[in-house]
Structure 1
């Protein structure tokens, strides 16, 4: 299931609450308007995440989106607003680079340097079909930029799908380190934007507000690439993923055995809780896959209760 709508600004979730609340309730498994969102970026509260079976887990990624108060979201953003947002980001990232060294590069510059595109790991030189449909790609690539940390452990996309998207990608199994990288930088950025009098958009019953209802709450998408030869074909897989609050996508790699496992929801739980679901869930899927690889292996006794 996917979401087929976007919001033009944070106020859209209030003005059109009858519509957006229904979308949130359906997509995020019953999250209701009366609920209150909590946030927890204390990565020390995460148990595990640095102890996956490296023979199964090939890479991982943590992505967090944020939008800035007093500006329309990318689907409705004017050229003038977008340029103001880039100017604001330039001020914030200049200060951030004093503590965490990095470079702010426009998309035009980035597209000219194909080697740096590989570092970013995203096709930011060309807008996606979804970005074209939702209006996010208007005036492309005007006032779009990328901040890349000096050690290339973190990339921040500016004015792409949201005002800011922090992405830490690792070519190993240590998602805890990726989460720590994002948390540390995000805390500093939140303070810097507050000082600039443009805090991130937050509403008590929605948490951090993004343009897509699928990302509202924490704005967090974490994923693990894991080689699963047996469990991905099991008839109970859908039920197991629902219980673990996870989703699975095939990557097309390694003859279809490598899958991307990621959090199904972004609201109703804290950031640490969502990461914990993913860490515990991936470990269980690996155990199940190993069990199914044995003669007469059965996983009935391993199927979990609903998280």
Structure 2
């Protein structure tokens, strides 16, 4: 599979909205951090060691899947910066891997649910993403691949501490479980701060759409575990499952409360956002994300009926800076991106062939 397959604009399978509680939970991700015994960790190894690790890991993975040919291998340093950014925006690689200067790579499954990042913070980052709330199912898939790799690779493991990792916060299971959630009602009713504080008491954390260090965009949050040592994988999964179920209930309650007490205000907000998406000429990524969040909530509440969820999911991908430029086929300045982003949204949400003002538009000059 060539790289162009993974750079396409269509939303990946984990964004199909068909998973359990898909109106609130966009996706479930499991990530396992592993290192190879006998090699220095990525923070201190040489370029030659980095290449050796990549060769060993890639060969092991391709041998495991040599009949099915599930994974395709790509070297990060051979990708232009824009292509790396697109893969980050599709959650196929991490922002850290995209910035790596020493030799690094990624192996991607055709359906984009599985990836193995090589020489990120650790030698291996095994990642699995599924739609909706599927913690047990996602962990099972990631654990199966991890078990197959462990038969062929000498993992760095200590009987007392578990899997050894570059960062002490990952030592033990090396497991990070996260659930990406759309929480507009809790945000609008100013309850999200209380949710964040509650999660901290349970050893969990709220992050932005691209994980650690990223900001909340479009009322989308990642809920994940912080503790990897002292708990089993099953305990981590169960604890996160229980917390996420509670947050889902709170979000549903907040939605119904807003609908009961402020229906006209909500209808106005949702339809204004849809109008902006359909007819605006300039859109920043922040404004686009906010409008898409409002429209998505309107769809979930049955107020907006003519916008398919799969189109909204595709728009969430399209509005990102890397994708806008990938779609345009050239590097764009910020204002040019905002103009082209608005054009893409009009095409997706307005069927602009029906609007005479949109016909024949080919110029996007500032």
CA RMSD of aligned residues (A): 2.9
Q: By how many angstroms is 1:239 displaced? A: 4.6
**Aligned residue runs from structure 1 range 1-307, under 5 A:** 52-98=20-66, 101=69, 102-111=71-80, 114=83, 117=87, 118=90, 120-123=92-95, 126-127=98-99, 137=100, 140-142=101-103, 144-193=104-153, 199-231=154-186, 233-234=190-191, 236-251=194-209, 252-254=216-218, 257-293=219-255
- CA separation in 1, counterparts of 2:227 and 2:133? 22
Q: By how many angstroms is 1:79 displaced? A: 2.1
Q: By how many angstroms is 1:227 displaced? A: 2.2
Unaligned runs of 5+ in 1: 1-49, 128-136, 194-198, 297-307
- CA separation in 2, counterparts of 1:62 and 1:81? 27
Unaligned runs of 5+ in 2: 1-17, 210-215, 259-366
TM-score, normalising length: structure 1 = 0.65
Q: By how many angstroms is 1:73 displaced? A: 0.7
> Does the 8 A contact of 2:208 with 2:221 survive in 1?
yes
SS at match of 1:120: coil
Q: By how many angstroms is 1:107 displaced? A: 1.5
- CA separation in 2, counterparts of 1:64 and 1:126? 18
SS at match of 2:169: coil
Structure 1, 213-222 or 94-103: larger mean CA deviation: 94-103
Q: By how many angstroms is 1:126 displaced? A: 3.8
> Does the 8 A contact of 2:22 with 2:131 survive in 1?
no
Cα deviation, 1:264-296, whole Å, max 9, x if unaligned, reads 211111112111111111001121233345659
- CA separation in 2, counterparts of 1:239 and 1:213? 23
- CA separation in 1, counterparts of 2:120 and 2:93? 14
TM-score, normalising length: structure 2 = 0.55
SS at match of 1:114: helix
Aligned equivalent of 2:262: none
- CA separation in 1, counterparts of 2:115 and 2:132? 17
Aligned length: 228
- Considering Cα pairs closer than 8 Å and 6+ residues apart, tell me whether 1 or 2 has the greater RCO: 1
Structure 1, 80-89 or 107-116: larger mean CA deviation: 107-116
- CA separation in 1, counterparts of 2:65 and 2:146? 13
Cα deviation, 1:172-200, whole Å, max 9, x if unaligned, reads 4433332222111100000011xxxxx11
- CA separation in 2, counterparts of 1:141 and 1:59? 31
- CA separation in 1, counterparts of 2:237 and 2:73? 29
More helix by share: 2
| Cα separation, partners in 2 of 1:223 and 1:86, compared to 1, 3 Å | same
Q: By how many angstroms is 1:51 displaced? A: 7.2
